Structure 1
Amino acid sequence: MPTYLIGDVQGCHGALTRLLNHISFSPSRDTVYLLGDLINRGPESVEVLRYCMELGDVIKPLLGNHDLHLLASAYGVRKPGKRDTLQSILNAPDRAALLHWISQQPLARSIQNPQGQRLLMVHAGVLPQWSLEETLQLADEVHQQIKGEALPQFLMHMYGNLPNHWDNSFTGSDRNRVIVNALTRIRFCTAQGAMDFESSEAADAAPAGLMPWFGCPDRKTAQDIVAFGHWSTLGLVNRPNLMALDTGCVWGGCLSAMEIGADFSERQLHQIHCEQAQKPG
């Protein structure tokens, strides 16, 4: 029963189906985890959602910042931007079903191998103060609001860069915002985990005083395996305890799937090249 982790699809339905055909994907045998940003910027956002919904539980997505942006746009909290490609969903006759489905997806997932090692999946990253279990608990804390009647109120207070650090005493919208920003937006932070949202360069171009979130000393998830997307300028990373799988499909790069064995150490990378669907800038 092969398991695949796939990076940011971002509305590139053609690329997703070509990649699944390339790996001979079988819904009766395989499981696919999508690491967030299923939609937006690419030309076929509504097709991606419908395709994933039809496949049922063999496709296991998690929420990225673009997926949350869709919900915010649908509820009138944010207007779609000039570069967004959300109208096919917002104008769809099955809009309500599509929005409900995306709102039911979690912000983090985890699986365990027979040796007891855990693999944590998030869209962007994890703060150094959080263990794997704490990350899952905090992700679920927020998701309980996203998937229920509190969603409109939650979205009204979701946006903002502050607070930019974690404090367990935070409550309400401050607490929610830090959790969402860490799981769906973080790239760089200080050694203490104060997040920066101005920089999106490659990891080796970190601004002064900042480092990639996964480079923080004493990060509590350092002994776990963490897989994420979000950071296309970082490119592919395949280390024993770290997998970065956003390889810039929507920007004319690749869509990547990492096939992982039962013990997580056996891995095989599958990639297909993508036509550029949106220009940077």
Structure 2
Amino acid sequence: MAIYFIGDIQGCYRELRALLKQVNFTPSDDQLWAAGDLVARGPDSYATLKYLYSLGDSFKTVLGNHDLHLIATYVGLKKAKANDKLDELLSAPDVAELINWLASQPLLRKLPEEDVYLSHAGLPPQWTIEQAVAMAEFAQKKLNSVKRDKWLARMYGEQPNSWNQVKSKEDKFRYTINAFTRMRYCELSGALEFHNKLSPKDSPKHLKPWFELATNQLQNCYWIFGHWAALMGEVPHNNLFALDTGCVWGGDLTLLRWHDKRLFTEPSQRNLL
């Protein structure tokens, strides 16, 4: 059995199928683990989600910010944006089944019997790995509860952006969602920053990539993440894998075969870069 990790798909269905064909992915024998953001902005979110759902136990994912926004849009908390290209999915006859399945996915996954972690945005430097695991479980319980819509409504906002400022369950939930799905840079204190999407070589000096501030937590594990297309897969640590290489923006869709750490790419069929 081979385990593959894939970066942000974002509705790039043709590239997804072509990339899996490259490696002869076989659902009965292999597993595909996704770094979140399965949908939005690309042309085929419905086909993408339906295919991934059809893989059953052969497919694992974590939630990304676009996945959460889709769920919030479906339940009426947000309006669909034209550039997200979600109309076909939201009007599909099986949309409720797909949304409920998506909402049941976690924010953090660990490879069984290995210190290998997967999240959409990374590991916030103000947490230990043990805290990250606990908070991911806390948030997942809220999203899987009968009060899911209430909690979805409370995930929006940028405060508190520091774990030291968390005072309530709502604060805890919002910080957790933001840390796992929106983080790229942090202030030197470790507080989350949400607006800078540039590559580290172009970033302001008062900000650091989250992985430069979480080096102690990361030294004895592997961490796989997406979300940050501007990195184009380049990170300065050999135990980190950044798999969002901007397929939806005209870059590549990237796949990591875990046992030999080999990367495979499929160029975007959207000529945007």
Find the partner of 1:271 among 262, 265, 272. Answer: 265
Amino acid at match of 2:151: F
Find the partner of 2:241 among 227, 235, 243. Answer: 243
Residues of 2 paired with 1:169 and 1:275: CA distance? 43
RMSD: 1.6
Amino acid at match of 1:126: L
Where in structure 2 are the equivalents of 1:118-157 lying within 5 Å? 118-157=115-154
1:119-171, Cα deviation, whole Å (9 max, x unpaired): 11000011113222321211111011112212110011110111111138532
Residues of 2 paired with 1:125 and 1:170: CA distance? 23
Q: Secondary structure at the match of 1:214?
A: helix
2:109 is the alignment partner of 1:109: yes
Structure 1 equivalent of residue 45 of structure 2: 45
Query: By how many angstroms is 1:241 displaced?
Result: 1.3
Residues of 2 paired with 1:235 and 1:124: CA distance? 14
For structure 2, which runs of at least 5 residues remain unmatched after alignment? none
Residues of 2 paired with 1:143 and 1:248: CA distance? 27
Count the aligned residue pairs.
272
Residues of 2 paired with 1:217 and 1:226: CA distance? 11
Residues of 2 paired with 1:218 and 1:249: CA distance? 28
2:68 is the alignment partner of 1:71: no
| Conserved 8 A contact 2:123-2:214 | no
Most deviating of 35-44 and 87-96: 87-96
Identity within the alignment, % = 38
Structure 2 equivalent of residue 183 of structure 1: 180
Most deviating of 135-144 and 35-44: 135-144
Q: Secondary structure at the match of 1:18?
A: helix
Cα distance change, pair 82–207 in 1 and its aligned pair in 2 (3 A): farther
Where in structure 2 are the equivalents of 1:251-266 lying within 5 Å? 251-261=249-259, 266=260
Query: By how many angstroms is 1:224 displaced?
Result: 1.5
Amino acid at match of 1:133: E
| Conserved 8 A contact 2:35-2:61 | yes
Structure 1 equivalent of residue 32 of structure 2: 32
Structure 2 equivalent of residue 205 of structure 1: 202
Amino acid at match of 1:269: L
Structure 2 equivalent of residue 230 of structure 1: 227
Structure 1 or 2: more helix by fraction: 2
| Conserved 8 A contact 2:4-2:258 | yes
Q: Secondary structure at the match of 1:236?
A: coil
| Conserved 8 A contact 1:130-1:221 | no
Residues of 2 paired with 1:157 and 1:175: CA distance? 10
TM-score by structure 2 length? 0.95
Most deviating of 85-94 and 178-187: 85-94
Most deviating of 167-176 and 140-149: 167-176
Residues of 2 paired with 1:66 and 1:3: CA distance? 24
Structure 1 equivalent of residue 98 of structure 2: 98
Query: By how many angstroms is 1:268 displaced?
Result: 0.5
Q: Secondary structure at the match of 1:272?
A: strand
| Conserved 8 A contact 2:126-2:191 | no
2:13 is the alignment partner of 1:16: no
1:203-229, Cα deviation, whole Å (9 max, x unpaired): 222223100000016542333211000
Residues of 2 paired with 1:170 and 1:216: CA distance? 23
Query: By how many angstroms is 1:25 displaced?
Result: 0.2
Residues of 2 paired with 1:165 and 1:35: CA distance? 24
1:76-106, Cα deviation, whole Å (9 max, x unpaired): 1111223111111211111110111101111
Most deviating of 169-178 and 46-55: 169-178
For structure 1, which runs of at least 5 residues remain unmatched after alignment? none
TM-score by structure 1 length? 0.92
